Amino acid sequence: MTRILLVEDDVDAQGVMAEVLIDAGYEVDITDTEDSARDLLTYVVYDLVIADALLPDGTGMAVADDARDNDTKALIVTGCAFTLPYGTFDRYEILLKPLPPNELLDAVARRVGQPGELNRETQPN
How far apart are the C-alpha atoms of 82 and 78, rounded to whole Å?
A: 10
pLDDT at 119: 52
Q: Is 29 buried (19+), middle (13-18) or exposed (0-12) by CB count in 10 A?
A: middle
Query: Is pLDDT above 80 for 121?
Result: no
Spell out the residues 6+ positions from residue 107 whose beta carbon is closer than 8 angstroms to its own: 75, 93, 95
What domains are defined for the chain?
3-112 (3.40.50.2300)
Higher pLDDT, 123 or 70: 70
Residue type at 31?
T
Q: Which residue has the higher pLDDT, 73 or 70?
A: 73
Whether residue 83 has pLDDT greater than 80 = no
Q: How far apart are CA 87 and CA 99, in angstroms?
A: 22
Cβ 52 vs Cβ 28: under 8 Å: no
Give the model confidence (pLDDT) of 37-47 as tens digits.
Answer: 999 999 999 99
Q: What is the pTM for the complete model shown?
A: 0.88
Q: In the structure, what pLDDT confidence band is assigned to residue 89 with cuts at 50, 70 and 90?
A: low
DSSP run (H or E) holding 41:
helix 34-43
Residue 55, strand partner residues: 58
Give pLDDT, residue 118: 52
96 phi/psi in degrees, rounded to 5: -95, 135
Q: Give me the pLDDT at residue 25, please.
A: 96
How much is the pLDDT for 123? Answer: 47
The distance of Cα 41 from the centroid of its chain, to the nearest Å, equals 12
* H helices, E strands: number in the chain: 5, 7
